[in-house]
Structure 1
Amino acid sequence: MNRIALLPGADVWESIVTEKYLNQLRQMGELVVNTLPGAPSKERVAELIREADFAITSWGCPAFDADVLRDAGRLKLVAHAAGTVKGIVTPELIERGIRVSSANDALGVGVAETALALTITSLKRMWELSQSTREGTWEEGKEHIREMFDITIGVVGAGKAGRHYIRLLQQFEVDIVLFDPIVSVQEAVELGCRKVEFEELLAVSDVISIHAPSIPETNHMFNAKAFSIMKDDAVLINTARGSLVHEYELAAELAKGRFTACIDVTEPEPPSLDHPFRKLPNVILIPHIAGAVNNGKQRMARHAVEEIRRFIAGLPLEGEVNLQNLHVIA
């Protein structure tokens, strides 16, 4: 019988894995559950996976190093019920040929939907009009509203979230341009957009949505030079990682009132109480809610369960991570 180890602290997995998914796991094999709260120690994880064929990880789980894997001779798959797997993958895990799956696709759904919501509400000026109507006005500011029609939307990064955002945009009459060095011109066409260089995307886009990974090559790619190229009255949306944006150079540009920024992620989180993002009227600052919140977390449980089911059936894994490409993925 297959053995499945659910490794995150009980306080973590209880918000992700409902009874529905626990029952589905029990139908596939013997389920061993970490009943302790808090981030599990390496010793605890090593104990739980000793006879396990499959492990489900999430936030707070330690790296699968030699000590953790020492007695895990049966382990075949780690299904990560969260996004990046960089915190759990080690050379030892790779050397053993243990496959790893990420729930980035499940997370990407929420990120893309949030980016779309920010796109529409910002173009419609809902944030500022809501505030002004509370203050007693009605018509003032409506002349600045734009619709999802005949505008250009720039997407930076065609990972899971970026691709889903592009799919959602297909429902609107907008032009979509993409900057992603890994995506070919033909692949971009198949996705429903046009591949461009970064500078062109900055210059032509009415809305720019960031979906690139946080890697050395993308650190502060949105900086003073980039902001100077952007259109007046543009909308910049960051639901990716705070490291991609030079926050104080962005704040300086926003202080000129040229464009609007919708910020879901900062570096660090939360931003300091005196951070300019908290005060500028053309910043929509939300507390990292784009990925998976409350019931949205259960998408990650479903993904992990389905990946184990696919593995057992000998089917391709939908979220398998190419462990040789960790340096270019989120």
Structure 2
Amino acid sequence: MSTKIAFLMDRKNRTNLFDTEHMERIARLGEIALFNASEALSPDHTAELIEGADIAVTSWGCPPLEKPILERAPGLKLIVHAAGTVKRVVTPEVIRSGIRVSSANCILGRRVAETALGLTIVSLKNIWQLAADTRNNEWGRHYHRVKELYGVTIGVVGAGASGRPYIELMRQFQVRILVYDPNVSAEAISGMGGIPADLDTLLAESDVVSIHAPAIPATNRMFNARRLAMMKDDAILINTARGSLIDEDALVAELSTGRLRACLDVTNPEPPGADHPFRTLPNVTLIPHVAGVVTNGLRSLGAFTAQELEAFANDGLLNGEIDLSRLDILA
């Protein structure tokens, strides 16, 4: 019997993620079931699509795979999530059923790390301020605040899907890399090229602090008033993780003194209100949650999915397999 591969996503997401080549590669592996209506994918639609499936391909907009849906596919062996976190899709029933789960979070993590690298460089260079000065005929006014990505200390909070590749990128520069992650051993951090540190030390010694931790109860508002006050004068805080990790009122208070600078790809909520200080403070760079994959980058998730399905068919080894026993500490 042919393998059935159910695409549990709406048509818009599917066409954004998968090009013709991706779909042709996947079609060689089995029979594909698609949702072609223009409406959102409902639990009922999902149950119909997954009927008798061996593999499910999920993404944004897929309903949680609850028991009534999974009962329609008792032979389901694999879920490949063509997006980041699987927490909105994977239910306790998925875990109990022993279904393998793979996520493209490794692809998104790399894109996030690249964005964080870009923000690190242009923030240290004070590019936005210099550009504003130049437009205002104030050539080189803030030149004294420019730093190179050389001989500085970079603090990395979280050594997972985006923190690890950010550390890898930082190793291309002559910088000191402090890393805090209570779920990663000191030996593993050293193996990445970082220096294990507690959070307080990292904050006190870093010129740039880049946040890559997951949004879980233990990290909620971990960057509070006390911790933000520990940061060095003129330090830069970069958040490409989740807005919930920062006490935003406390950050506004620190930024209002002019002591710190911040680059925020994420806020809580998104977007911040029209009158929020993040929109007007001169030492804030606010961008609209674009650190992961957008526009042409979405195709990289389709490519990952095709590669993962081919690997599963060939030798069963998956590049993005999730250890579901650690789901509570993952992004």
- Per the shorter chain, which TM-score range? over 0.9
Once the two structures are TM-superposed, the CA of residue 114 in structure 1 deviates from its matched residue by: 0.3
Aligned match of 2:127: 126
Q: Which blocks of at least 5 consecutive residues in structure 1 are unaligned? A: none
1:14 match: secondary structure: helix
CA contact (8 A) 1:11 1:38 kept: no
Aligned match of 2:216: 215
Once the two structures are TM-superposed, the CA of residue 128 in structure 1 deviates from its matched residue by: 0.7
1:153 match: secondary structure: strand
Aligned match of 1:232: 233
Aligned match of 2:261: 260
Task: After TM superposition, list the pairs within 5 Å mapping 1:58-97 onto structure 2.
Answer: 58-97=59-98
Aligned match of 1:13: 14
Aligned match of 1:328: 329
Once the two structures are TM-superposed, the CA of residue 45 in structure 1 deviates from its matched residue by: 0.9
1:60 match: secondary structure: coil
Aligned match of 2:4: 3
**Deviation digits for residues 257-289 of structure 1 (CA, Å, limit 9, x no counterpart):** 001000000111111001110010000000000
2:79 match: secondary structure: strand
Q: Aligned letter for 2:323?
A: N
Aligned match of 1:304: 305
CA contact (8 A) 2:225 2:251 kept: yes
**Deviation digits for residues 155-174 of structure 1 (CA, Å, limit 9, x no counterpart):** 00001100010111111110
**Deviation digits for residues 67-95 of structure 1 (CA, Å, limit 9, x no counterpart):** 11112022111100111111111121111
**Deviation digits for residues 190-232 of structure 1 (CA, Å, limit 9, x no counterpart):** 1001000000000000000000000000000001101110000
Aligned match of 1:24: 25
Q: Does 1:146 align with 2:147?
A: yes
Q: For 1:145 and 1:303, how far apart are their aligned partners in 2?
A: 39
Task: After TM superposition, list the pairs within 5 Å mapping 1:159-238 onto structure 2.
Answer: 159-238=160-239
CA contact (8 A) 2:133 2:140 kept: no
Aligned match of 1:276: 277
CA contact (8 A) 2:5 2:57 kept: yes
Q: For 1:41 and 1:163, how far apart are their aligned partners in 2?
A: 36
Q: Aligned letter for 1:153?
A: I
Q: For 1:315 and 1:45, how far apart are their aligned partners in 2?
A: 25
**Identical-pair percentage:** 49
Q: Aligned letter for 1:272?
A: G
Q: Aligned letter for 1:81?
A: A
Q: Which blocks of at least 5 consecutive residues in structure 2 are unaligned? A: none
Q: Aligned letter for 2:86?
A: V
CA contact (8 A) 1:42 1:67 kept: no
Which aligned runs of 4 or more in structure 1 are off by greater than 6 angstroms?
none
CA contact (8 A) 2:105 2:320 kept: yes
Q: Aligned letter for 2:76?
A: L
Once the two structures are TM-superposed, the CA of residue 31 in structure 1 deviates from its matched residue by: 1.4
| Alignment: residue pair count | 330
Q: For 2:154 and 2:39, how far apart are their aligned partners in 1?
A: 42
Q: Aligned letter for 2:129?
A: E
CA contact (8 A) 2:200 2:227 kept: yes
| Alignment RMSD | 0.9
